[in-house]
Structure 1
Amino acid sequence: MSSAKLSRRRVVGAGLGALSSAVAGVSAGCTARSGPPRRLLLATGPEGGPYNAFGAALARAVAASGSRLRIVPVSTAASVDNLRELDAGAVDLALAMADVAEDAALGREPFTRRAAATALARVYVNYTHLLVPADGPVRSLRDLAGRPVAAGAAGSGVQVVAGRVLREAGLGEGPSPARERQLGLAESARALREGAVDALFWSGGVPTPALSTLSREVPLRFLPLDGYVGPLRERYGPVYTAVTLPSGAYGLAEPVGTLGVANYLLARGEVPEAAARELLTVVFDRWSDLLREVTAGARLEPRFAISTGRVPLHPGAVAYYRSVYG
């Protein structure tokens, strides 16, 4: 996706619904502070997805704070798409999974060169879900050989992590690779429900509402992926961690070990230091509201927020963390 696709219709369509009440809050806040509002475009993800929900919540929180900033969420395909838009200067801010952000920072596939991106914070952890019908023939990842798999939308972080897991299992190529289908979450759930695919990859918070709904409609099995954490860390670094889908989530009788990947809030280096500090003030003041829609029980703590690996912190983020936490 090129930056030219960030049309006025797309920005307004993504932003107005989330900001119908927020714009009034920004206007009121400007009367208390000098200077015009600064409008920052935030690349999020597909409408109805967790990045989109986080972006809408952040826009509302910034508006309610009386800040001079105005955050406008922009609907995208998610992580890979977001880094490309950020690098092109089409947006000011972006959300992305840590593995994709490091790929961009290092100029590693799927990127052809180093992207211009800095981190504001590590905000929460995605859990990799691999779902199959409970009454189907698939009992392990390797059983997906030759079978159709919903492996994330084109330009998404799900597509990246799903492809890496499948390749590590020997299902990315060879005589009988898994047949990856590029589908977003809603399309993936529909395809699994209708039997068009035999498995569904997703990376997101727990519980993900669309998967909770699916689990009430179709008996599901969640396949463990924690055995692939070590090999992926060796190949790609510590962006991958072992996490657990807890019992009770999605009706699980027992916890399921899987792969965790952090999410970063990113900014172009050209975003002014003062704006970055002002934005982070709101993020840390309102973190519980921001995370409520994307993952249950998560907390945003500075000692984790600054852990952005090979993606350098924005100067404004460095100044914020030093001023508040020393």
Structure 2
Amino acid sequence: MNNRDEPANAVPRRAVLAGLAVLAGAAACSGGPVGPRRLRIASSAGDLGAGLADLVNRHLRDVEASVVTPMASAGTVDLIARGEAEIGLSQTDLLGVDASVTALARVYDDLLHLVVPADHPITTVDDLRGRRVSVGETGSGTAVTAGRLLAAAGLTAGAYVRSERSLDNATAALTRGDLDAFFFSGGLPVARIRELSARTRIRIVDLSGWAGALRSTYSDVYVVRNVPTSTYQAPPSATIADATLLLASASLPDALAYDVTRLLLERRDVLAVAHPALEALDVRSAAATMPAPLHPGAARYYRSVKP
């Protein structure tokens, strides 16, 4: 029987209150409103991770991106595999076989630089014997590649005066005369090395002859790339290189993987202001991520823009 003050077709007040109680209980059980999706980007200092995070935060709704700095770039794969980062940057020669790690894009080629003063007699890897040499920060991609090169050349740690410096530290030490040579792996041009070349004359030692040894001993990812005179106002040379990939967890939602890949390609001009190596990025080169398989969301993006 209806309350006298209620229309005949009104929902009873008791039923309304019961329904609100059910909705409140459901919200409490679900933890309340759903917040933005977290996107942690594993990226070493100076890499493009911070720029990518900024793009994501400005252009992707309901996504909150931040940068996670690994102990060294060699730790990127581990961070993703352990679920401590969703995406990250890594050289291909640091990859192992892990089904939980896929790729969104091949971003640029990492060239191994062996930098010496222009008037220094070091012209080959063997000339490093007895010299003061920085092989890059401990555990970094530079240290891995340089270590493999030196081992292939038969230079053990005792054959030269070894240090493990950051790029900033190494360029400053070379300028002061406290260092004879340093290694650094990065896309052309490396901003800090270009700045160094503007202050003092340098040379990039030719390492191209070691590509075959590294391919046969370690990995077939190594290729030869040229360093033109215009890059550092230094004599032209060639060196070994491998690709840097934007990796992703296989569990990253397809839609988010699609959007991040799209953003990287569509806004590469913004990223290239700070990272000129991205000027060469295009859809065809970006999709070539082997030995890491493409994430399905990234593969869908490349199919959607295939010429």
TM-score, length basis structure 1: 0.78
Match for residue 38 of structure 1? 37
In the alignment, is residue 165 of structure 1 matched against residue 159 of structure 2? no
- How big is the shift at 1:297? 6.9
Amino acid at match of 1:265: L
1:84 counterpart (78, 81, 100): 78
Between Structure 1 and Structure 2, how many residues are aligned? Answer: 275
- How big is the shift at 1:234? 2.1
Match for residue 255 of structure 1? 236
Match for residue 228 of structure 1? 210
Amino acid at match of 1:86: I
Match for residue 26 of structure 1? none
C-alpha distance in structure 1 between counterparts of 2:285 and 2:302, whole Å: 12
- Give unmatched runs, 5+ long, in structure 2: 1-32
- Give unmatched runs, 5+ long, in structure 1: 1-33, 106-113
In the alignment, is residue 208 of structure 1 matched against residue 190 of structure 2? yes
Match for residue 93 of structure 2? 99
- How big is the shift at 1:158? 0.5
Match for residue 175 of structure 2? 193
Match for residue 135 of structure 1? 119
Amino acid at match of 2:276: T
Distance 1:275 1:35, change over 3 A: farther
- How big is the shift at 1:80? 0.4
Amino acid at match of 1:221: R
1:303 counterpart (278, 284, 291): 284
Deviations 1:165-224 (A, max 9, x none): 111111136xx5234322111111122223332211011122222112222333222110
1:316 counterpart (282, 286, 297): 297
- Is the contact between residue 163 and residue 172 of structure 1 (CA under 8 Å) also seen in structure 2? no
- How big is the shift at 1:240? 1.2
- Is the contact between residue 123 and residue 305 of structure 1 (CA under 8 Å) also seen in structure 2? yes
RMSD over aligned Cα atoms: 2.2
| Larger-Rg structure | 2
Match for residue 26 of structure 2? none
Match for residue 62 of structure 1? 56
- How big is the shift at 1:115? 7.4
Give % identity. Answer: 36
1:218 counterpart (200, 217, 231): 200
Distance 1:132 1:91, change over 3 A: same
C-alpha distance in structure 1 between counterparts of 2:230 and 2:131, whole Å: 29
Deviations 1:291-319 (A, max 9, x none): 33223573222222222222122222223
Distance 1:264 1:296, change over 3 A: closer
Amino acid at match of 2:306: Y
Secondary structure in structure 1 of the residue aligned to 2:51: helix
Match for residue 239 of structure 1? 221
Secondary structure in structure 2 of the residue aligned to 1:271: coil
Secondary structure in structure 1 of the residue aligned to 2:136: coil
C-alpha distance in structure 1 between counterparts of 2:196 and 2:67, whole Å: 27
Secondary structure in structure 2 of the residue aligned to 1:261: strand
1:145 counterpart (106, 125, 129): 129
Q: How does 1:278-297 map to 2 (within 5 A)?
A: 278-296=259-277
- Is the contact between residue 122 and residue 265 of structure 1 (CA under 8 Å) also seen in structure 2? yes
Q: Which is further off, 196-205 or 158-167?
A: 196-205
- Is the contact between residue 134 and residue 162 of structure 2 (CA under 8 Å) also seen in structure 1? yes
C-alpha distance in structure 2 between counterparts of 1:304 and 1:225, whole Å: 24
Match for residue 255 of structure 2? 274
Secondary structure in structure 2 of the residue aligned to 1:319: helix
